[in-house]
């Protein structure tokens, strides 16, 4: 019983604070996505043939995010029966969108008109404490920013 109480407390704190942080983060992401909407990021290798390119550079954005204690707890329960873990899906969604936004913001500062060959890379970050390994990921988004000559 003595072990159970701190665990439940952690789960509860994780749920309340974690959910709040996530809601704030999504709100922030949506707002920044609106602001960067007119900078297209394409996964195509080359810009359109009609584009008059004046300058190119490599841009990247990365973020490390982790899940809260509540989600980790839910995950361990789901793992008993298997199935979809939607709480981790939102984590990855957040990470990818955040990394893309950082890349786009860097490109905008440089004066890019579009980004081509967008690539994403995901890697798990290992903690010294083996138990906490689950749920800390780094997402890196990188691409080639293009500055087009205005016609």
Contact 17, 68 (CB under 8 A): yes
Q: Residue 136 and residue 8: Cα distance in Å, rounded?
A: 21
Could you say which residues in the range 100-119 bind another protein, by CB under 8 A?
A: 116-117, 119
Quick check: 120 binds another protein (CB under 8 A)?
no
CA proximity to 143, closest of 59, 61, 62: 59
Contact 27, 120 (CB under 8 A): no
Q: Which is nearer to another protein, 50 or 82 (CB)?
A: 50
Among 69, 100, 101, 113, binds another protein (CB under 8 A): 69
Q: Which is nearer to another protein, 21 or 35 (CB)?
A: 21
Among 8, 13, 27, 35, binds another protein (CB under 8 A): 13
Torsion, Cα of 34, 36, 37, 43 (10° steps)? -140
Contact 101, 36 (CB under 8 A): yes
Site residues (CB under 8 A) for another protein? 10, 13-14, 17-18, 21-22, 25, 45-47, 51-58, 60, 62-69, 71, 91, 98, 116-117, 119, 121, 123-130, 132, 135-136, 138, 140, 142-144, 146
């Amino acid at each position: 019983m003595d072990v159970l109480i701190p665990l439940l407390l952690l789960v509860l704190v994780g749920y309340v604070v974690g959910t709040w942080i996530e809601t704030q983060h999504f709100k922030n992401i949506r707002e920044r996505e609106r602001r960067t909407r007119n900078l297209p990021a394409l996964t195509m290798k080359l810009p359109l043939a009609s584009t008059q390119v004046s300058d190119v550079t490599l841009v990247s954005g990365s973020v490390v995010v982790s899940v809260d204690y509540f989600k980790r707890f839910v995950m361990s329960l789901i793992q008993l029966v298997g199935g979809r873990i939607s709480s981790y899906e939102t984590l990855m969604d957040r990470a990818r969108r955040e990394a893309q936004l950082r890349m786009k913001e860097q490109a905008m500062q440089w004066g890019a008109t579009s980004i081509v060959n967008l690539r994403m890379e995901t890697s798990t970050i290992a903690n010294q404490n083996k138990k906490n390994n689950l749920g800390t990921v780094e997402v890196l988004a990188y691409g080639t920013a293009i500055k087009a000559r205005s016609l």
